Structure 1
């Protein structure tokens, strides 16, 4: 009497080999890494309390000369790194800078201008763990 413990309905060669699985996993990882945004530029407020960060998303397919046509986003951060405001950009090259005032910032997105209200100024507390400028942490990320 022979007893079959387990028998697959599919032939053995239907399942991908471990090499094929590794190659597939490596391809997916590379694709996801290539799709991450990167910091294109930063702009700090006069008092250093706030920072505008422009991030660009890579274009997987682009013709020569279209590199700056990549989509992106503009974010406003405070000194703690908390995102306060955000706006999307169809093309990163449309961002034309920010105009800072005491209680607001006007962000020129090319086709329109967004006005973001700034929270009240935070008191500068001498804490060695906090950066002296809101853009410092993003400049470090940009250079790495």
Structure 2
């Protein structure tokens, strides 16, 4: 099993939005970065776990857990001229962008803010806390996954 962190702006799509979807499942569309696309297309597997991370908001941080329930497939929003994610260079015969389907598992017991994650030495190598890493999808090691789950019950540092 692999572990991931997937970012979304809560004003666009939040953990609560995912929870209210039919079967608590939704496709993760609109990723327009090749490195993140490659992870979804080539590395994410059914059964993988991911942290849901609220970004570009008052207090960015991890707010929930989800499971990958469908492996990478072409992102149909790239073919739709009315979509904000339309890409005229992508087409169904040669798709440029991919997505996965994710299923809500649970909210974290509390939001775990980025500032707190940065304060833990055990997470210093995590891509999220390193300077200059702005990818919307990134791998999380099993040790980092377990550590983050272990701190969700602790009071904020």
TM-score range normalised by the length of the shorter chain:
under 0.3
TM-score, L = length of structure 2: 0.22
**Which has the greater radius of gyration?**
1
Structure 1 length-normalised TM: 0.23
